[in-house]
A and B are shown apart, each in its own frame.
Chain A
C-alpha cells in the first residue's frame, strides 16, 4: 500500500471478524499541569517547566488543577457518559519517565463511565470509561541506532510529566478498519470542538492504542487481544490493525494462539514487534492516592457544564443533513471543516442543499474567504435555474471567495450571459441541417452521438451554454 493508494476497505480472510477497542490518551489544553503550577506547553526547552511536585521530590504535595477537572467532565458529557464521584489512585511501576515511580490516575472510580460516540455513517461505539491521569516525561534513547534495544543511555525531559490527560477507553465494538479510523477522527473532532485538547497526533497530544483480536464470524467470544502502541497517525492506525488481525489469523490457521502482549507498530516496515507480556493490573498494585481527596461534583456543576456545551459534530451533521435533505454521512466533510454554519445560512437563504454541499466539498477546501451566505444562495439559485453552468458557477464562486461581491454582476463581468433557448434553438437547427445522418441516429436512440452535438453547441457558444439545458432541448426536439 502506498501513500497514493485509494482507501479501500481491507478485508480479512473469509470467515473472520475483527474485534477492536481503542484507548485514546489526550492531553488537556489547560494553562498548567495537573498537580502543580508548571506551564503546560509543547515544544519548550527540555526541563524548563519542572518543579518539586512534577519531579517527584520528597516532601512535595500535589494540588489538583480545577480546570483539568472541568475539561474532563465536559469531555465525559460530550461522550454521553455518566459523570461520577471519582477517586485518584497510584499506579506503581518503575520507569525513568515517571520520577515518582508511580503515576496518579483513576482506577476503580473514574470520572466518566458508560458513554457512546456516533460515527458519521451512523455506527455507534460504546465508551467504557474516560478517566483523568497525569502524563509521563519524554525519554530519548541515545547511542546504537537510537532504538531502545541497543541504546547506550536515555535522556529524559520532564516538561511533559504531570500534564493532564484523559484516557478514553472504548468498548470492543469496532468491527472494521474504516470504523477504527472514523472513531479516531470523530474523537479528534469532538476534542477540538469542545476546546479541551488540540488533539494533534503528530505532537503526541492525542495518542491512540489499539486492542486487536479476531474471531470467527457468528461467534460472540472475545479472544486473546494484543495492544498495539506507537501509532502516530490515523492512517497508521488502519495499517496497524490490519496487520495485527492478519497476524492473529495466521497463528490460528497454523494451530497456534496469540500471546496476550503489548506490541509496537513499526510504520517504516509496516509490521508490529513484540513488546513485553502485558502485566496483569494487579502488578501495578493500585491503591487510593492518599495525597488527594475524592472528587464529588454537584449535580448543579455537571448541569452547568452540560448547558455550556457547544453543538457536537454528530448533532451538527444531523442538523445540516436535515436542512440539505441529504444523509448525515455525506455532509461529514463540511462539518469537519467547520463550514456547516455557512452552509446552513445559505440554505435558509433559499439555496439548494445539494448545490451548497457540492461546492463546499469540491471547490471550497481551502476556505470560504469573502463568501457570504447571501451571495452563496444567490449563486446557487443562478446555477439551479440554468442561468449559470456548473463550470461558470465555479468561476463566479472563486471570485466571491477572493473578493466578495454580487454573483449577478460577477457573472456579467465574465460575459456569462444566460443563453436564451431561442438562440440555442437556432444553433441546434443549423447543426441538424448540417449533420442529418448524426441527428437521425440520435433520434433513433443512439446516445453516443449526443456528445457530438453538445460539443458542437459548446463550441458555437464558447462554452456559455448550460449542458443540462442543451440536453433537455435535444430530448424535446427528438421526441417532437
Chain B
C-alpha cells in the first residue's frame, strides 16, 4: 500500500504552520503522520450512517451573552506588552503578499 502522505505534503503543511523542519525531521514526520492517517482510515472504514456527528464533547447548545458593552483595556497598558508600537497601534514587520 502506498503511503497516505508524501514528504512534499508534510513539507507543505509544515510551511503553512510556519514550522522549519530539517530533512531528517521531514522523513521522520512523514512516517509518523502516515501511521496516524492509517489509523484515521481504519475509523473511516466503519459504517457510521446512524451515528450523530459529534461537533463538541459537551451536550451544550446556544451559549450566548447579552449584547452589552463592557469596558475595554487601557491602550497604554495593552501596547506596553507589544514588541513595538507607533501612533497608538501595533508596529509589525512589513507583510509580503495580500493586503487584507
Contact = CB atoms under 8 A, between A and B. Distances in A.
B95 A96 contact: yes
A51 B98 CA distance: 27
A92 B15 CA distance: 13
Interface stretch (B22-30, B34-42, B43-51, B86-94): B86-94
A232 interface: no
A95 B67 contact: no
B99 A141 contact: yes
Contacts of B96: 148-149
B98 A293 contact: no
A55 interface: yes
Contacts of A148: 94-99
A155 B79 CA distance: 12
A290 B56 contact: yes
A190 interface: no
Given A46-B87, A49-B72, A276-B97, A32 B63 contact: no
B53 to A, nearest CB: 9
B62 interface: yes
A50 to B, nearest CB: 6
A377 to B, nearest CB: 43
A275 B64 CA distance: 38
Contact of B73 (A50, A143, A295): A50
A95 B58 contact: no
B60 interface: yes
Interface size bracket, B side? 35 or more
A140 interface: yes
B56 to A, nearest CB: 5
B95 A51 contact: no
A3 interface: no
Contact of B99 (A38, A64, A152, A264): A264
Given A87-B55, A96-B90, A155-B89, A293 B100 contact: no
B78 interface: yes
A209 to B, nearest CB: 12
Interface residues of A, number: 62
Contact of A63 (B60, B63, B91, B94): B63
B69 A39 contact: yes
Contacts of A32: 67-70
B62 A296 contact: yes
Nearest to B67: A67
Contacts of A46: 75, 87-89
Given A148-B99, A155-B90, A293 B79 contact: no
B55 A31 contact: no
B81 to A, nearest CB: 9
Interface string A21-65: 000000000111000111100000111111110010000000111
Contact of B65 (A55, A63, A155, A262): A63
Contacts of A69: 64
Contacts of B69: 31-32, 37-39
A47 B64 contact: no
A66 interface: yes
Given A31-B67, A148-B95, A288-B55, A297 B72 contact: no
A100 to B, nearest CB: 14
B1 interface: no
B16 to A, nearest CB: 6
Nearest to A164: B67
B63 A293 contact: yes
A136 interface: yes
A171 to B, nearest CB: 25
A47 B93 CA distance: 18
Given A288-B55, A293-B61, A37 B100 contact: no
A315 interface: no
Contacts of B73: 50-52, 55
A156 interface: yes
A186 interface: no
Given A31-B69, A65-B67, A68-B67, A152 B62 contact: no
B73 to A, nearest CB: 5
Contacts of B94: 141, 143, 148, 151-154
A149 to B, nearest CB: 8
Contacts of A154: 91-95
Interface in A138-175: 139-143, 148-149, 151-158
19 contacts: A31-B67, A31-B69, A32-B67, A48-B75, A51-B70, A51-B73, A55-B73, A64-B64, A66-B65, A66-B66, A69-B64, A139-B92, A139-B95, A151-B94, A152-B94, A154-B91, A156-B91, A293-B63, A295-B61
Given A151-B95, A293-B56, 15 more contacts: A37-B65, A47-B79, A47-B89, A66-B67, A69-B64, A94-B18, A140-B89, A141-B99, A148-B97, A151-B94, A155-B91, A156-B91, A292-B63, A295-B62, A296-B62
Interface of A: 30-32, 36-39, 45-52, 55, 63-69, 87, 92, 94-97, 109, 136, 139-143, 148-149, 151-158, 229-230, 262, 264, 275-276, 283, 285, 288, 290, 292-297
Q: Lowest 3 CB-CB distances: which A-B pairs, in order?
A: A37-B70, A67-B67, A66-B64
